[in-house]
Amino acid sequence: MDIPDLAELESAASLVYEHMQPSPLLQWPLLRDHCGCDVWIKHENHNPTGAFKVRGGLVYLSRLAEREPDCEGLVTATRGNHGQSVAFAAARHGMHAVVVVPRGNSEDKNRAMRALGAELIVHGDDFDAAIPRAEQLAAERGLHRMPSFHRDLVAGVGTYALEMFRAQPELDRVYVPIGLGSGICGVVSARNALGLNTEIVGVVAASADAYAKSFVAGEVVTTATADTMADGMAVRVPSAQALEIIRANVARVVAVTDAEIAAAMGLLFGATHNVAEGAGAAPLAALLQESALNSGARAAMILSGGNVDRVLYSNVLQGERAD
């Protein structure tokens, strides 16, 4: 898949800004002191729905309404942030959103999706197991089957990277969490469209490392499990399209443990008073893992979302195991 160019990203931005403002790009002195380098945080946790995904949902649903003006409903699979984006955007186009989540999904994210108008269906033990049920429902109920990786989603979420790079075009590197891949492919699209040299580093959870293994192998490698507190990165089966873009444009993929993620969540709260879910804090964990490389550098991290269950977050802040 070709990545969106500058014109496509700017067109997507015009759709996004009909419903939200650009998110802040901020430095925090306590975080700079802890990391030993200049650190900018792209605060996608400040968006409507509390995560970066809302951008992709707005663009995809707008394009879908143009392509299929008679579409009344759609179905997708998610761990939560994608589902919230779909429900948020679907309501603005008069469409019914059906969202399939796995068993044990974040209750806070489930409640948020329902509050946004989504019909929630629980199926399977993880994200990848929920996908076949979404496909089955699309066939049974005549719903549009919305994927979790698509060019329109990449263009939509890529608008956050366009904002970031235009504000700070001289960044040495940026750390980006990888779920199914739309976010990091959006960062690649914006960097390349602006002709910048910033190094892009992907971040996965060590216990959900399918993309890290696939990056090294040069082909899709699936894993048997994806058991991590960072539910936004709990993917067992990488997208072949996303992997192709990542391998051609990303410097490396770093794996961080749940303990490192939990420490980063605590640091973000202490240094910035921002709530970060696991996937949102993972880039900081990777930045700290590469602290020697980043000494004196100009680095950025994507705080992709702040939608974390209160019990889990309370345990993290108290230094208890993040189950």
**Residue type, position 139, single letter:** A
CATH class of the domain comprising 53-145: alpha beta
HEC secondary structure over the chain:
CCCCCHHHHHHHHHHHCCCCCCCCEECCHHHHHHHCCEEEEEEHHHCHHHECHHHHHHHHHHHHHHHCCCCCEEEEECCCHHHHHHHHHHHHCCCEEEEEECCCCCHHHHHHHHHCCCEEEECCCCHHHHHHHHHHHHHHHCCEECCCCCHHHHHHHHHHHHHHHHHCCCCCEEEEECCCCHHHHHHHHHHHHHCCCCEEEEEEECCECHHHHHHHHCCCCCCCCCCCCCHHHCCCCCCHHHHHHHHHHCCEEEEECHHHHHHHHHHHHHHHCCCCCHHHHHHHHHHHHCHHHHCCCEEEEEECECCCCHHHHHHHHCCCCCC
For residue 319, pLDDT beyond 90 = no
What pLDDT is recorded for position 80? Answer: 86
**Residues 64, 144 contacting (CB under 8 angstroms):** yes
* Residues contacting 7, CB < 8 A, separation 6+: none
**In whole angstroms, what is the distance from residue 314 CA to residue 208 CA?**
23
Per-residue pLDDT of 213-243, as tens digits, reads 999 999 999 999 999 999 999 999 999 999 9
**Residues 48, 54 contacting (CB under 8 angstroms):** yes
**In whole angstroms, what is the distance from residue 213 CA to residue 107 CA?**
30
Q: What percent of the chain has a predicted confidence (pLDDT) above 90?
A: 94
Q: Where are the domains of the chain?
A: 6-52+151-317, 53-145
CA–CA–CA angle 293, 294, 299 (5° rounding) = 140
**In whole angstroms, what is the distance from residue 88 CA to residue 59 CA?**
12
Residue appearing with tokens 């699979």? 77
For residue 323, pLDDT beyond 80 = no
Please give the mean pLDDT across all residues of the chain: 96
For residue 322, pLDDT beyond 60 = no
Split at pLDDT 50, 70, 90, the class of 321 is low
pTM: 0.95
Which CATH number is 6-52+151-317 given? 3.40.50.1100
Per-residue pLDDT of 19-39, as tens digits, reads 999 999 999 999 999 999 999
Per-residue pLDDT of 44-75, as tens digits, reads 999 999 999 999 999 999 999 999 999 999 99
Per-residue pLDDT of 289-311, as tens digits, reads 999 999 999 999 999 999 999 99
**In whole angstroms, what is the distance from residue 4 CA to residue 15 CA?**
15
Q: Do domains 6-52+151-317 and 53-145 have the same CATH topology?
A: yes
